[in-house]
A and B are shown apart, each in its own frame.
Chain A
Amino acid sequence: MEKYEKLTGIAAPMPLVNIDTDMIIPKVFLKSIARTGFGKNLFDEMRFNRDGTEIPDFVLNKPQYRDASILIAGDNFGCGSSREHAPWAIADFGIKCIISTSFADIFFNNSFKNGILPIVMPQEVVDVLMQDAEKGANARMTVDLESQIVTTSDGEEFSFEVDAFKKHCLLNGLDDIGLTYQKIDAIDAFEAEQAAKAPWL
């Protein structure tokens, strides 16, 4: 995975609550056995008509947001299925950070594994960021994972919390499996003990 760098970019406002994984990537696009190429179908049913033409009102179709790299979203973003195609599509589109008041658990975990930083902020802060995002393409927001600070286009700063281990992995582009293999002795020992104690497993 690539190292997560300080990000300055356009933020797209999506105030809708409960944006679910079926909206993010409808299931008709889950049939690929690859990990890439999902970006063109991100938010497909909200973004395109059935005949493939764009729905002009949809935020990512507006000229000022086509190159957004940050999403400011309503509560409970990413609820629904465990499909990792959702963060794959988001990352493939070029979005690297999502800010909301809350995220669904599985989506939240999946994001980190795909170079996307989900940030939880209180409602008041999300409101400020949403307003900033609504200013359009000239309003660039900055997300600095290292110092854990989001800066609006006006220079207003908000700090955020992030799990130390997840931050470390993202900043250094670390692969989870490689990290876990370093602890393989602990897994071996656990397995041996369990086999003795609970042979039915």
Chain B
Amino acid sequence: MSAPKTLYDKIWDAHVAHEAEDGTCLLYIDRHLVHEVTSAQAFEGLRIAGRKVRAPHKTIAVPDHNVPTTLDRADPATMTEESRIQVNALDTNAKEFGVHYYPVSDVRQGIVHIVGPEQGWTLPGMTVVCGDSHTATHGAFGALAHGIGTSEVEHVLATQTLIQKKSKNMKVEITGKLKPGVTAKDITLAVIGETGTAGGTGYVIEYCGEAIRDLSMEGRMTVCNMAIEGGARAGLIAPDETTFAYCKGRPNAPKGADWDAALENWKTLYTDEGAEFDLVVTLKGEDIQPVVTWGTSPEDVLPITATVPSADDFEGGKVAAAQRSLDYMGLTPGQKLTDIAIDTVFIGSCTNGRIEDLRAAAEILKGKKIKDGLRAMVVPGSGLVRAQAEEEGLADIFKDAGFEWRMAGCSMCLAMNPDQLAEHERCASTSNRNFEGRQGYKGRTHLVSPAMAAAAAITGKLTDVRTLT
């Protein structure tokens, strides 16, 4: 019998097209997702070298980062000149090279990491890449999914492979059950709080344990999405009945006999008993609380019940970084997190822009109004999420509460389109990065779950969602 393997080992072994003596491999790529910001230079490289896209039928393009999310976005005047050039370049490239394409006018358009799974492009056991670090999202299906740079985008377009060396195996186990008010977002932030933003460097993480098993596919995507914030190359969750049920019937999922064959294969995708991990981190599900970030790194996580730390609470290089964060965020050590007043609430992104996230936020907002003077917006992750939310009546709950109800895109997650924070504006955001300037020049970001974002919208302060229900 062969040695026991981890899930990562299995997917890796099944995709090595060539291995050199020093262990450098050509990893075959099953799905290549492409968006407008990191692909133009890659397509241009192909054109200059007279090369083709090797597997256009495995390549899927969708504009998301730059696109406006206002209702009038069909009007080209809603985009800046530069954004328009980038979106138009994707349009031209997608057509010229013959890849699958969801233009802005298509109801299926949305954030690439939401569109891929929704359309059944992402399936268990695959290798998935995209010129975007949050490609880690697709790991929720038990697919090995990494973000890559533009040179690598060009390499995959040309050869359908990636030059890679194998990472190490890390296991993150969340045991037991979550307490009420605690969500997938809190799990993934709590893990980063534990390991730090460099803790996963050099590893592929497999998330497991009862609390992970209990999550829906949406929740699992939220967890894997932020594996990159923990520094890991990818995050994985072994596929199970929840995964199969999600995939079944999706437009690009296998059908008939192919489905049966695929399913049989997918059921072998788990870590064998006795397989070795290089590092194991265990958190108790019941210990995880609703969390928020206070600083400018995703590792700056605290339970909502805590107070703002002081730079002296840290060691080494983190002391200066913490002081810089406190200054940037305009916070005073010792201040209660629940006393921090906010100006803006953003619900959306590939971390929390799926239907379940909107349901969780709407649940809190039902029959309530947002705090006077607050700006609040919901940006669904895709046109289909938006349509479903309208059908379920969620859109009306948001609108009645005072939220703007937007079209799909990345929006204020990285503020490349007009949705930005003004200087010193403070935002409770369901996105994934609280870096300096991420949501707008000198804007201040607190990362939270959708339910916590909704709670903050009602009170106008960072709020423990458990005190509202």
Contact = CB atoms under 8 A, between A and B. Distances in A.
Partners in one complex: yes
Contacts, number: 180
B231 A31 contact: no
Interface stretch (A11-19, A135-143, A148-156): A11-19
Contact of A176 (B89, B163, B197, B297): B163
Contact of A18 (B66, B149, B197): B197
Contacts of B148: 82, 106, 109
Interface stretch (B14-22, B98-106, B175-183, B451-459): B14-22
B138 interface: no
Contacts of B416: 27-28, 30-31
A159 interface: no
Contacts of B24: 163, 165
A113 B161 contact: no
B37 interface: yes
Instruction: Give the interface size bracket for A toward B.
Output: 35 or more
A80 B433 CA distance: 8
Nearest to B157: A177
Interface string B425-443: 0000000010111100100
B44 A199 contact: no
Given A33-B89, A45-B437, A75 B317 contact: yes
Given A200-B123, A200-B254, A22 B320 contact: no
B177 to A, nearest CB: 32
A146 interface: no
B85 interface: yes
Interface string A179-197: 0110110110111001000
Interface of A: 15-18, 20, 22-23, 26-28, 30-35, 45, 50, 74-76, 79-84, 87, 102-106, 109-110, 113-114, 163-165, 176-177, 180-181, 183-184, 186-187, 189-191, 194, 198-201
Interface of B: 17-18, 20, 22, 24, 26, 28, 30, 37-38, 40-41, 44, 49, 51, 66, 80, 82-83, 85-86, 89, 123, 126, 131-133, 135, 146-152, 154-155, 158-161, 163, 165, 197-198, 201-202, 231-233, 254, 258-259, 261-262, 265, 297, 299, 316-318, 320-321, 324, 414-416, 433, 435-438, 441
Given A22-B435, A22-B438, 17 more contacts: A17-B321, A18-B198, A26-B437, A31-B82, A33-B86, A35-B150, A80-B133, A82-B135, A104-B231, A105-B201, A110-B150, A180-B26, A187-B161, A189-B17, A190-B18, A191-B28, A200-B259
